[in-house]
Amino acid sequence: MFTPKYPPPDTAPPVAATAPTVAGTAPVQPSAPVAPLSNRPTVQLTPGSALALAAGGGAVVLVVGAVLVSLLLAVAITGMSVAVVAVVLRSLLKDERNR
């Protein structure tokens, strides 16, 4: 389960380091191996789809910003309410002690 799974070894024949030379000619270098083509589909953005993507991203930023501002406002209002209740309770308790 935890052992690595290696791909099967390459079945291509080994390439010689230098090709044989013919008298009076320069040695021929072996060509570089060609990478296989990927089977994955490529994503192509047209101007319309790029505009739609930018508009969608902007809408997401605006919605997330509105939610965060709403949460911040809710926390601020709750904090002010707790502060007002604390002042009122303090005043009531002070009046009770003085009587």
Per-residue confidence (pLDDT) for residue 9, from 0 to 100: 77
Percentage above 90 pLDDT, the chain:
45
Residue 31 in this model has a pLDDT that exceeds 80:
no
Indicate whether 89 belongs to any domain: yes
Concatenating the DSSP letter of every residue in 54-92 gives HHHHHHHHHHHHHHHHHHHHHHHHHHHHHHHHHHHHHHH
Indicate whether 90 belongs to any domain: yes
Q: What's the structural domain count of the chain?
A: 1
pLDDT confidence bin for 69, thresholds 50/70/90: very high
Of 4-8, 51-55, 85-89, 91-95, which range is least confident?
A: 4-8
Indicate whether 11 belongs to any domain: no
CA terminus-to-terminus distance, the chain: 79
Indicate whether 22 belongs to any domain: no
Of 11-25, 51-65, 68-82, which range is least confident?
A: 11-25
pTM assigned to the model: 0.47
Indicate whether 96 belongs to any domain: yes
Indicate whether 50 belongs to any domain: no
Indicate whether 79 belongs to any domain: yes
Show the domain range for 96.
69-99
Indicate whether 59 belongs to any domain: no
